[in-house]
């Protein structure tokens, strides 16, 4: 039986004055994450109306692939070591696509 895909919506509020440091780290994180065999989608977005607010949409082929992502050296270094200390808030929500509107890419 095929494992269930995993989807996350992540919301980061960057501390004022730390946007460029986070953007630099995020650039490297995205490039590396997209090369993971279990990563189906990894896309950050900046709020058009709220400075320093970042949304990250992630999709993985399986729970094991999502766990493997979080265990990589670069996730530990870039997210936990660099980005998280520069955030005033962080929210990670596992979501499930609505079947009737799921993009056929997934």
pLDDT attached to residue 9: 97
- List, for residues 33-87, the tens digit of each pLDDT value: 999 999 999 999 999 999 999 999 999 999 999 999 999 999 999 999 999 999 9
CATH numbers and ranges of domains, the chain = 6-96 (3.30.70.100)
pLDDT attached to residue 97: 85
Q: Is there a contact between 10 and 44 (Cβ–Cβ < 8 Å)? A: no
Burial of 19: CB neighbours in 10 Å, binned 0-12, 13-18, 19+:
middle
pLDDT attached to residue 101: 57
Band of pLDDT at residue 98, cut at 50, 70 and 90: confident
């Amino acid at each position: 039986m095929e494992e269930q895909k995993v989807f996350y919506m992540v919301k980061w509020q960057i501390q004022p004055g730390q946007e460029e440091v986070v953007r630099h780290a995020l650039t490297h994180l995205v490039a590396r994450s997209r090369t993971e065999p279990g990563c189906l989608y990894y896309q950050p977005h900046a709020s058009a109306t709220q400075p320093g607010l970042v949304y990250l949409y992630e999709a993985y082929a399986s729970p094991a692939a999502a766990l493997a992502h979080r265990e990589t050296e670069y996730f530990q270094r870039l997210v936990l070591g660099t980005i998280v200390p520069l955030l005033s808030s962080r929210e990670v929500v596992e979501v499930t696509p609505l079947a009737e509107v799921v993009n056929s890419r997934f």
